[in-house]
Structure 1
Amino acid sequence: MNEPNWDDLRIFLRVCEGGGLTGAAASTGLSPATIGRRVTALEQCIGRTLFERSQAGYRLTADGRTLRDKARAVEAGMRPIADWSRTSGEKPGVRVSAGTWTANFLADHFTALWSPADAFHICFKTTEARLDLAHREAEIGLRNAPPETGNLAVRKLADVAFAPYRAAHLPGDAALDWVAIGRDEALTASARWVLDQADAPVAAWANTPRTLADLVAAGAGRGVLPCFAGDRDRRLVRAGPVIAGMAHAQYMITHGDDRHRPEVRTLIGRIAALIERNADLYRGERFVEAA
């Protein structure tokens, strides 16, 4: 048997987790055809058939299950090296992936999450796109939907409500158009809400949630924000009631293996406690009425 390529083994694991080429393509960014060729190359390298192929997908053979377990052990064993290579000094880093407003909320409550006495650092990765936790692009992810595949643990934290907001310095009866996220950047239902309204006049466009809030605060128009963000911003007041049907849950996602690391487990508990203490804020039940 020839020595297998580790990159091919990682792709093999993604096929196992995704149930086939399409699922693996979603988590790796490679095309299904490329993934298929790499799996075939791995089978030829080790001289064993790893999958039974059918229209229903890829099903592991006995040899495939054995290799999956061994490859998972190797991947887990390499984790400390990756942790060591990215840390500052002797403290390991815990990467937290979150959207703009969740990252802003965590940053505002940073002292509830970390102290100088802790034996780890928090590394924020703020992005509206979802990082691949199954591929260990972060240790903790805060998301608006649970994952569909992968060796991931899921915990619901809160229900998130949304409402329209305007600048606090404007009169309550001011006629305002909307501030909206551009269609190419509108990755969430809340970002697309204004775009989906028939004939909603748009005064200004933004490509990030932070810029949208700044434009609203400057008086450019009304904008839709999660209540836990808009109700904490003293520059803003609500321009209408909570938007019916837009609420979604906030989930914390962690890798099934990484969540047992002491520093990750500690931060999971602190984030969960912080958000659960503020559940009424997330639900839109704690706010200052507009003047």
Structure 2
Amino acid sequence: MKSEHTVLAAEALLQDSPATTPRVPHAVLQGVTRKFGKAGSVFHALGPIDLTLYQGEFFSVVGPSGCGKSTLLDTLSGLASPSDGTVQFENREVKGVPDGVGVVFQEDASFPWLNVRDNISFTLRMRGMEGAEIKRRVDYALAFMGLKDFATAYPAQLSGGMRQRVCIARTLVQQPRLILLDEPFGALDQQTRLLMGDELLRLWRETGATVLLITHALDEAAMLSDRVGVMSSRPGLFIDIVETGWPRDRDSRVVSTPRFGEVNARLWERLRVESLKVMGASHG
């Protein structure tokens, strides 16, 4: 049961910190589709999608299993090319992973034979960056992500949440302007996910990066996002985009507000219909 103090504190947060995110286009998808296979046996996975991510916003994507959420992220990141349509980042067409884009996946992508410091610095060393600059960036990331005391530890010695912090820190040191996250907390328990969500919001605010999060968790999307896009069953299309109305200086206390319940209910109302379509198709 929520305490009166918790509810009042959350409502004060909303009243005192109005959202001021500027509406400057940062990444734009126009008529994007993804199809797999050859003539006569084509699998239509995604689109056509039109979507604009605004500079500095936090945008989440939810949808039924198999609707093309991860395909959307791969296309936006440049890891895959669209079958039709265009993808732009900072007014340039995306051809391969552009400079300034960082990706964090759900799977533990840390190297078990490297300690935390070496895991975080790996990409920078591969790029040939000078040692002094690597140390500066890694020291900052270790402190920012609460990993300073674990710099010489190995992944097997860390919890799942700590290993995911390492993966986020490895992206952070690249100083991305667009951060794409594919179910980064999917394997974590509910309490740890809430705490990691607060850390992610702090990272988002302090870096000023644009963030796109793929998630199955409606409460996670409702808590973290400025906007949430709801995708249809395959082929994935956006059937609703929900504005949460949260202030930029928010944290997990928003889950105690009536508005959180309203956002969560709207997401579920739209997603339930699409999920039933997927279940019906699987039994047909």
Same fold at TM > 0.5? no
TM-score normalised according to structure 2 size: 0.29
Give the TM-score of the pair, scaled to structure 1: 0.28
Higher RCO structure, 1 or 2 (CA under 8 Å, sep 6+): 2
Query: Is the radius of gyration larger for structure 1 or structure 2?
Result: 1
